Structure 1
Amino acid sequence: MTRVAVLGAAGYIGGELLRLLVGHPEVEVAAAVSSRFPGRRVDTVHPNLRAVTDLVFTDPEEAARREYDAVLLATPHRKTAELVRDWSGRVKTVIDLSGDFRLRDAEVFERYYGAEHPVPELLGTFTPGIPELYREELRTADRISVPGCMAAAGLLAIAPLAARGLLTGRVELDARTGSSGSGVTAGEANLHAERSGAMRVFAPVGHRHEAEIAQLTGLDVRMTATGVEAVRGVQVVARVEAAEGVDDLAIRRAYREAYRDEPFVRIVAQRRGTYRYPEPKILIGSNFCDVGHVYDEKSGRLVLIAALDNLVKGGAGNAVQCLNIRTGRPEGLGLSFPGLHPI
């Protein structure tokens, strides 16, 4: 049994971590840590966990006096960096779900996050929490950084083709995300009265997730991010040119080779039907990422599409998958929920 602590357990990602981990057959949640709600029952903040757990939120100072095998950090950017410094060496595995250690270069971090990194000496010491790309490294990783939700979808759409030299030129990536991506403490712009009915371009240029995708693919990536009315879900549409001599068959073969044995990536290649392209609606609550493409061989234009639940495969589920790999367990343990339809 693996004893874990979840820091930031009162947030949306923290709540998803608890939902997945309290049902995990080989994990004990030894502390659900919250500085806002110490002493309160977890199910008063996460009502979906009623009758599922009797956990009570733990004060951070009390939590720090206990022993764990792993700590999962669902805490805010920049604050997390300080926590990582405190927890490194005290537990076997640190899994960070913030943006603090996704980038390896301090200058790039400052450009995209607007501040100097608090502990630049730790940059580059984290293994990217992307099982499909870093599975072998994750088996022995002591520090793991889970990618951002839109970055995860973009990477899973782009990486197999980039690795095989099938793409050329700049990637123009259009990402759409539900309101839960802003977190539980989101401000006025995410009030229901402001968000309902909106399709708000909140990052026309320079979204930080483009730096993650560029770092891990070696491509020139430009990203636009739009908030849509959905609560959950991410869909990315990447427009890029295929390299000379590449045809539709080569693209399909690349995806099949990359994802043939992957438990949580599904290639969507239907020619007809309502769901012939990746759609986040049917992925809600699941750890799946659906990937598809459209290729116009006349023009050489290639459109890649990926969808996932931003709180699961785009966050907590990916973290649990990484934890399973790190502890030598089947990586699908505790992650079998397939999503709902209709919803």
Structure 2
Amino acid sequence: MISTCIIGASGYTGAELIKILIRHPHFSLDTCYVSAGSADSDKPIGAIHPQLFGQTELVTQSLDSGELSQIAEQYGAIFLATPHEASHDWAQALSGKKAKIFDLSGAFRLKDARVFEQFYGFQHQETGVLSSAVYGLAEWHEDAIKTASFIAVPGCYPTASLLALKPMTEAGFLDPNVRPIINATSGVSGAGRKPSMTTSYFEVSLQAYGVLGHRHTPEIEEYCGTSVIFTPHLGQFKRGILATITMRLRTGITTADIQQKFEQHYANQPMVRLRDSWPKIDDVANTAFCDIHWKFDEDSGYLVVCSAIDNLLKGAASQAVQCANLVFNQATETGLL
């Protein structure tokens, strides 16, 4: 068994990681850390996450950041379910040791430190780790992930968007003069566990936010290789993302061409399901799947693709475990089906 720990075990993503890892056939979840001074320190996991009551005897431990280098030599894999700032500040101490690092924050996804500062609001100091970090979009970066020591797990919106976009962008099918338009709606869990009036279930009504400036825009653009117009929305439901992507294709592309590209890439990817009807969030909530369906108008050249994921699983925890499976030479779906 590969010894693992979670740093940041008290949040929603931490809970999903715990659920997966305590049942995984090849990983042993040995420690769950929370931040120093956290009210969740020294508590049974079942007291913090009642859905896990009776399923594990683990008790949270307060993290001493001065012991990060020692922790990185103790475990085979470390999952960082931490704020961007914490992942950034701790990466150097964790890197280059025994442990493979799976960072679920946005701290190491964008390769351009100037773009990072613009969208995340602080200067990136860990350029060495940044340059070596591998972007963990499991279905597209499998070979690089397998040999990586530090994996930047993609964001939830970028995961839903990129899985729908990349068969077309990689094939060179897009009309270069027309930006893809991405409209995506997430449940309130995407904002995290900390209470807020903005994301309170009673206060939420379907609403766009981060218009023409959301931090996931440059992430999507970097990894699909084209500019996009991305508009996220907050919906009054707990979990899941539905992304609808409209793109104009080059003249001469046919429905058969599109079908061939989607099937060519995803036929042997068990966590992506090519559907024969439009997916809905209920189809993927509490699963590690991404469901995709599309329709093409050959007269106008416009393609519409819908992608549905669980933001806490395929958009976070289960994708991190997919990456860990690849790093440790397991099938990508191990422990997720």
TM-score for the superposition, normalised by structure 2: 0.94
Residue 19 of structure 1 is matched in structure 2 by 19
Q: Helix, strand or coil: the match of 2:157?
A: helix
Q: Distance in 1 between matches of 2:195 and 2:209?
A: 13
Amino acid at match of 1:303: V
Residue 324 of structure 1 is matched in structure 2 by 325
Q: Helix, strand or coil: the match of 1:188?
A: coil
Q: Distance in 2 between matches of 1:175 and 1:210?
A: 12
Q: Helix, strand or coil: the match of 2:296?
A: strand
Match 2:180 to one of 165, 171, 175: 171
Q: Deviations along 1:21-43, whole A, 9 cap, x unmatched? A: 01112111111001212211011
> Residues 105 and 124 of structure 1 are in contact (CA less than 8 Å); yes or no, is this contact kept in structure 2?
no
Q: Distance in 2 between matches of 1:177 and 1:285?
A: 14
Q: CA deviation at 1:267?
A: 0.7
Structure 1 residues 124 and 171: alpha-carbon distance in aligned structure 2, compared to 1, 3 A threshold: farther
Q: CA deviation at 1:262?
A: 0.5
Q: CA deviation at 1:186?
A: 4.6
Residue 245 of structure 1 is matched in structure 2 by 252
Q: CA deviation at 1:45?
A: 0.9
What is the percentage of aligned positions where both structures have the same residue?
Answer: 33
Amino acid at match of 2:51: N
Q: Distance in 2 between matches of 1:258 and 1:182?
A: 31
> Residues 78 and 117 of structure 1 are in contact (CA less than 8 Å); yes or no, is this contact kept in structure 2?
no
Q: CA RMSD in A?
A: 1.4
Residue 79 of structure 2 is matched in structure 1 by 72
In the TM superposition, 1:180-219 aligns within 5 A as 180-195=189-204, 198-219=205-226
Match 1:122 to one of 103, 116, 129: 129
Match 1:52 to one of 42, 50, 55: 55
Q: Does 1:258 align with 2:265?
A: yes
> Residues 91 and 129 of structure 2 are in contact (CA less than 8 Å); yes or no, is this contact kept in structure 1?
no
Q: Distance in 2 between matches of 1:217 and 1:241?
A: 15
Residue 335 of structure 1 is matched in structure 2 by 336
Amino acid at match of 2:201: H
Residue 28 of structure 1 is matched in structure 2 by 28
> Residues 268 and 290 of structure 1 are in contact (CA less than 8 Å); yes or no, is this contact kept in structure 2?
yes
Q: Distance in 1 between matches of 2:307 and 2:47?
A: 34
Q: Distance in 1 between matches of 2:31 and 2:331?
A: 24
Q: CA deviation at 1:238?
A: 1.0
| Unaligned segments of structure 2, at least 5 residues | none
> Residues 265 and 288 of structure 1 are in contact (CA less than 8 Å); yes or no, is this contact kept in structure 2?
yes
Residue 273 of structure 1 is matched in structure 2 by none
Q: Deviations along 1:221-257, whole A, 9 cap, x unmatched? A: 1100100011000011111101111011111111000
Q: Distance in 2 between matches of 1:235 and 1:192?
A: 18
Residue 151 of structure 1 is matched in structure 2 by 158
Q: Distance in 2 between matches of 1:91 and 1:221?
A: 39
Amino acid at match of 1:267: L
Q: CA deviation at 1:120?
A: 3.0
Residue 41 of structure 1 is matched in structure 2 by 44
Q: Deviations along 1:277-306, whole A, 9 cap, x unmatched? A: 121211111110011111111211111110
Match 1:109 to one of 92, 106, 116: 116
Q: CA deviation at 1:61?
A: 2.0
Q: Distance in 1 between matches of 2:10 and 2:31?
A: 12
> Residues 96 and 149 of structure 2 are in contact (CA less than 8 Å); yes or no, is this contact kept in structure 1?
no
Q: Helix, strand or coil: the match of 1:131?
A: coil
Q: Does 1:160 align with 2:163?
A: no
TM-score for the superposition, normalised by structure 1: 0.93
Q: Distance in 1 between matches of 2:128 and 2:147?
A: 21
Q: Distance in 2 between matches of 1:280 and 1:323?
A: 26
Q: CA deviation at 1:118?
A: 3.5
Structure 1 residues 162 and 181: alpha-carbon distance in aligned structure 2, compared to 1, 3 A threshold: same
Residue 306 of structure 2 is matched in structure 1 by 305
Q: Helix, strand or coil: the match of 1:223?
A: strand
Which 4+ runs in 1 deviate beyond 6 A? none
> Residues 201 and 236 of structure 2 are in contact (CA less than 8 Å); yes or no, is this contact kept in structure 1?
no
Q: Distance in 1 between matches of 2:201 and 2:268?
A: 41
Structure 1 residues 280 and 124: alpha-carbon distance in aligned structure 2, compared to 1, 3 A threshold: farther
> Residues 11 and 183 of structure 1 are in contact (CA less than 8 Å); yes or no, is this contact kept in structure 2?
yes
> Residues 185 and 242 of structure 2 are in contact (CA less than 8 Å); yes or no, is this contact kept in structure 1?
yes
Q: Distance in 2 between matches of 1:298 and 1:90?
A: 56
Residue 3 of structure 1 is matched in structure 2 by 3
